[in-house]
Amino acid sequence: MEEDLHEADRIARLFGLIAVRAGSAIMQVRSAASDPQYKSDGSPVTEADLQADEIIRSCLKRNLPDVAVITEETWDAAATQNCSRFILVDPLDGTKEFIRGTPEFTVNIALVENGSPMAGAVYAPALCQLYLGGTNAYKLHVEPGSAGPEFSDMHPICVQCPSAEGLRAVTSRSHLDDATKSWIGEHVVRELKPSGSSLKFCVVAEGEADVYPRLAPTMEWDTAAGHAVLLAAGGRVVGLDGGLMQYGKPAYRNSEFIAWGGSPAT
């Protein structure tokens, strides 16, 4: 029963419902993605980003009115100063993939408590894949435009321990920088899996890869939901110094990180 769920799982399901609603709107306006606008930092934004952002903020205001919400499209650096509990949203992660017509874009919603993602949902509407992370991690098939997730159909996912033969690494399809290439070259990597958006965390969470190294810049709304799913699946995200990645940093900017599934290789 819903009322018997741990708060983290209840919130993850709520985020899943909202993400599917936003994903349905994204798919409806997908044909307009070929004519994006550009922000001051040069990153693209489409009508799909803006519509999904509005849907998510409206739903969160109704359901969690007392929790501050930070979205990529509307963030305010002062909104969560000294705030231990807030929501991070990327209404359309992987906009470049979306514009190119590839399916690896996602809707990301996560609740952060005391610097760590407590619950999250990642929805890839073009792939019909929804990932949830609370006390445990789950994956389920949800088509955009459907009545919503059938939570009875979800199945648990978990990380896998790396093989002695080497690591399976998932890397960014659009942002594979030289520093990340160097990290890969310094480790025993037997397979590279390019992927887009926050799906890279989910690939590790469901045991399809062992590690996701990211030494290029990211923002907290890019990573929080996938981080929540990976944590719930038994993984972790650490900085290059080995410390756990925290949220609520100045301007919501991440430093370099490594997302691990099973125990990292030494």
Give me the average pLDDT of each 10-residue run along the chain (266 residues): 81 98 94 64 80 97 95 71 87 88 95 97 97 98 90 95 94 84 94 93 97 94 98 97 94 95 66
Task: Classify domain 167-260 by CATH number.
Answer: 3.40.190.80
Q: Measure Cα distances from 238 to 54, 166, 180, 207, 257 in Å.
A: 32, 20, 15, 18, 5
First to last CA, the chain: 43
Dist. CA 46–CA 34, nearest whole Å: 8
Residue limits of CATH 3.30.540.10 in the chain: 2-156
CATH assignment of 2-156, given 1.10.1660.10, 3.30.540.10, 3.40.190.170, 3.40.50.1000? 3.30.540.10
Dist. CA 112–CA 193, nearest whole Å: 28
Q: Which two tokens stand for residue 252?
A: 């919501």
Q: Are 174 and 217 in contact (CB under 8 A)?
A: no
* Predicted structure pTM score: 0.93
4 three-class SS? helix
Q: Which two tokens stand for residue 253?
A: 């900017």
